[in-house]
Amino acid sequence: MNDLNGLAISTGSEAARAAFDRTLRSYTGNRVDISDHLGAALAADPGFALGHCVKGYLMMLMYNAAVAPKVKQAHATAGGLAANPREKLHIEALGAWSEGRLDRALALWEEILAAHPTDVLALRLSHFNYFWLGRREEMRASVERVAPRFGQDLPGYPIVLSCLAFGLEECGEYAAAERAGRRAVELDPTDGWGAHAVAHVCEMQGREKDGIEWLAGLERHWAGINNFVHHLWWHRALFHLRLREHDRVLELYDRRFRDLASPLVARMPDLYIDIQNAASMLFRLERRGVDVGGRWNEIADKAEARIGDCLSAFTLPHWMMALAAAGRTQAAERMLSVLKSNEQKIVREVAVPVCEAVLAHRRGEHGRVLELMTPRLEEMRYLGGSHAQQDVLLQLYRDSAAKATALS
């Protein structure tokens, strides 16, 4: 049998095939029902190797060390089942990713794409990992290699355009990025990734009112989007922040992207992207003199519980922002101690000094912030995150630079 983009899959069950197609649509569309569809595929065919592999992939996408044993089990199960050559490469990529061998995993996904350019699973996973490794140029190039070979009549084509749009935007090609993103959303109005790419263009070009209008016109299509919808609302809040509409930002924080009553937040209260959204916005608001009340405490509770989990390097400074703002000095020092013993180079050499700088900034030690961050400014991109997301760290640095200069 073949999937929705014409690629052979190792199941003889029509029900499993149909459910797997829905799984692919949900994954590439950031849909909340992805686990339901994958569960249906595996229930219809428990021997479906790629289904078990995707189960492992989805857990890896959570960036949560607590699920590592389940990832290992999914990989072992998939590896013990009959699979075609393309699926075997996916299974090998899952194993490499789960072991922290990202270069190997990326090489395998690129190998898959070279032979099977319509493999949206390999495309989206490589796109994701290039992004969170700070490899913007490779993220763009990967999609550019695939796009001309991907049939425009295939269901996965809009996500190719969305990925292309975001890759172009992160490399400064704003006009081309906006064209691709708008075309993706025209083809599929529920495409949150395309909406997000255009929002980034508006952010980078200082087009706040355009950005608000763009997102406001699409929000009716977001009902089925998973936690990624919070990031779309975060972008909306960024535009209002630039317009100094601080009450509106706080409203969006409480009722949209950090809505503690939301089932999405309740299910995954410490999902990396949600923590990044929340902590970075509170920091930005405080820099503008806005009283954020006790909102830091809730994030600090999550931060204390995740000390030692370093799977998402870019989230680490955001955990530290919460601990420092909430006055959790002992927890902050404990976090730094654990980070310094981590095996990942990016954690030890970049995340640690940046986290130390976050703590020093909260203490008013602005000269220390400059000592810690100045040598790492070029390397901070490799923590991951977009230009818009990384800007919070640059704001912290510039704030300390201005205050250190004033004191001298």
CATH number of the domain that 121 lies in? 1.25.40
Mean pLDDT across 306-319 = 97
Q: What is the pLDDT of residue 405?
A: 86
Number of domains in the chain: 2
Residue 276 covered by a domain: no
Structure confidence at residue 161 (pLDDT) = 98
Across the chain, mean pLDDT equals 97
Rounded-to-integer distance, Cα 165 and Cα 180, Å = 5
| Contact criterion met (CB below 8 Å) for 245 and 265 | no
Query: Is 326 part of a structural domain of the chain?
Result: yes
The answer as to whether 152 is a domain residue is no
Residue 223 resides in a domain: no
Question: Is residue 285 in some structural domain?
Answer: no
| 337 lies in some domain | yes
Give the domain-ending residue among 73, 101, 130. Answer: 130
* Banded pLDDT at 360 (limits 50, 70, 90): very high
Q: Are 303 and 341 in contact (CB under 8 A)?
A: no
Q: What are φ and ψ of residue 31, in 5° steps? A: -90, 150
Q: Per-residue pLDDT tens for 19-61? A: 999 999 999 999 999 999 999 999 999 999 999 999 999 999 9
Residue 368 lies in a domain: yes
Mean pLDDT, range 395-407, rounded to an integer = 93
Domain that holds residue 21: 1-130
Report in angstroms the alpha-carbon separations of 269 from 206, 258, 266, 309.
31, 9, 5, 15
Could you report the per-residue pLDDT of 71-93, keeping only the tens digit for each? Answer: 999 999 999 999 999 999 999 99
Rounded Cα gap, residues 255 and 236, in angstroms:
13
pLDDT tens for each residue of 313-332: 999 999 999 999 999 999 99
Q: How far is CA 65 from CA 53, 232, 312, in A?
A: 18, 26, 10
